[in-house]
C-alpha cells in the first residue's frame, strides 16, 4: 500500500491565484482530514470528512474548500491564495472506529 | 487556540539518557495520542492512552495521563540519535468526533551521539 499520498510536494503561488492540493489514500479509510502546520506551532484542522459525500469544517476553514466524491480522494482547494496561507499542509486518514491517524508527507505552499 | 501545550519546547540530551516531555490540555478528553515528526516529514502515531487509563507502555515509550491535572507525559528511555524529532500530543475532546484531533505545539528533541 502507498498509504496517504499528497501532491504536489512544493508549490509557489501568487496572491489571488487558486489551486488544488491533492490527497489520496489506498487503505479504504472512511475518515480524512486536512491540517496546516505553521512554524513553531502544532497542526490545526482545516476540514475533515467522515465518508464520501460528507465534509465538515475544522478549526481554520476560511479560504479553503473541500469535497469528497470518492473514499480515496480528498482534495483541498484554495480559492484565492493569500500570504497568510503560506504553510505546510498535511492530509491524514483513519479507519472509522479507529484512533490512529495516518499522515501524508505534506505539501509546502508559499504564497507571494 | 491550541488544546495541548507541550513542555519543554526544546530538549537536548545525550544518547542513552531518558527524555521526558509533558503535555497539558484544557477540556475533558476521550483519549490522548502522541505523534512523532521527523524533519520535513509527516507525523507518525506513537501511542494512545484513553481517559480511563493512567499509564501505558510501548517498547521504550511510557505515557502517563493525569485527568485531574489535565496533563500527560511521554518518557523515552535509553534514547538514540534516531529519536531526534519533534513530538506532539494530540487530544480528542469528549464532545467531538475522533477526527477532531487537536495538536499541541510540540517538543523538539535532539539526541546527541
A67-107 per-position pLDDT tens digit: 999 999 999 999 999 999 999 999 999 998 788 999 999 99
* Chain B residues within 8 Å of chain A (Cβ atoms): 2, 4, 31, 33, 40-45, 48, 88, 90, 92, 97-106
Identify the pLDDT of residue B2. 40
Q: Could you give the CA distance from residue B97 to residue B90 in angstroms, rounded to a whole number? A: 13
Q: What pLDDT sits at residue B97?
A: 59
What is the rounded distance in angstroms from the CA atom of residue A62 to the CA atom of residue A71?
24
Partner-chain residue, chosen from B42, B45, B104, that has the shortest CB–CB distance to A42 = B104
Optimal mutation site among A41, A43, A50, A91, interface B, most CBs of chain B within 10 A: A43
- List, for chain B, all residue ranges whose pLDDT scores fall below the cut of 50: 1-2
Among A31, A98, A105, the residue with its CB nearest the CB of B42 is: A105
Are the C-beta atoms of A68 and A31 separated by less than 8 Å? no
**The pLDDT value given to residue B1:** 35
> In this structure, what are the phi and psi dihedrals at residue B82, rounded to the nearest 5 degrees?
-70, -10
SS3 labels along chain B: CCCCEEECCEEEEECCCCEEEEEECCCCEEEEEEEEECCCCCEEEEEEEECCCCEEEECCEEEEEECCCCEEEEEECCCCHHHCEEEEEEEEECCCCCCCCEECCCEEEEEEC
Cell readout for B2 is 491550541
Q: What is the pLDDT of residues B7-28, one digit of tens each?
A: 888 999 999 999 999 999 998 9
Interchain contact, A41 vs B2, CB within 8 Å: yes
* Interface contact A50-B48, CB threshold 8 A: no
Residue B96's pLDDT is what? 64
Instruction: Identify the closest residue of chain B to A5 by CA–CA distance.
Output: B42
Amino acid at each position: 500500500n502507498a498509504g496517504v499520498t499528497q501532491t504536489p510536494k512544493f508549490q509557489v503561488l501568487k496572491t489571488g491565484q487558486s489551486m488544488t492540493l491533492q490527497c489520496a489514500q489506498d487503505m479504504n479509510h472512511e475518515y480524512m482530514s486536512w491540517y496546516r502546520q505553521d512554524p513553531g506551532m502544532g497542526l490545526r484542522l482545516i476540514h475533515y470528512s467522515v465518508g464520501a459525500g460528507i465534509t465538515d469544517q475544522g478549526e481554520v476553514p476560511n479560504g479553503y474548500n473541500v469535497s469528497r466524491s470518492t473514499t480515496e480522494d480528498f482534495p483541498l482547494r484554495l480559492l484565492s491564495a493569500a500570504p497568510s496561507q503560506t504553510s505546510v499542509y498535511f492530509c491524514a486518514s483513519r479507519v472509522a472506529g479507529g484512533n490512529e491517524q495516518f499522515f501524508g508527507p505534506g505539501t509546502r505552499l508559499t504564497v507571494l | 487556540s491550541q488544546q495541548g501545550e507541550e513542555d519543554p519546547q526544546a530538549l537536548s540530551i545525550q544518547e542513552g539518557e531518558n527524555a521526558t516531555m509533558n503535555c497539558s490540555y484544557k477540556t475533558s478528553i476521550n483519549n490522548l495520542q502522541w505523534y512523532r515528526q521527523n524533519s520535513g516529514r509527516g507525523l507518525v502515531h506513537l501511542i494512545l492512552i484513553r481517559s480511563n487509563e493512567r499509564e501505558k507502555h510501548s517498547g521504550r515509550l511510557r505515557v502517563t495521563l493525569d485527568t485531574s491535572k489535565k496533563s500527560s507525559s511521554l518518557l523515552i528511555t535509553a534514547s538514540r540519535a534516531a529519536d531526534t524529532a519533534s513530538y506532539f500530543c494530540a487530544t480528542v475532546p469528549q464532545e467531538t468526533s475522533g477526527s477532531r484531533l487537536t495538536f499541541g505545539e510540540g517538543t523538539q528533541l535532539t539526541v546527541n551521539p
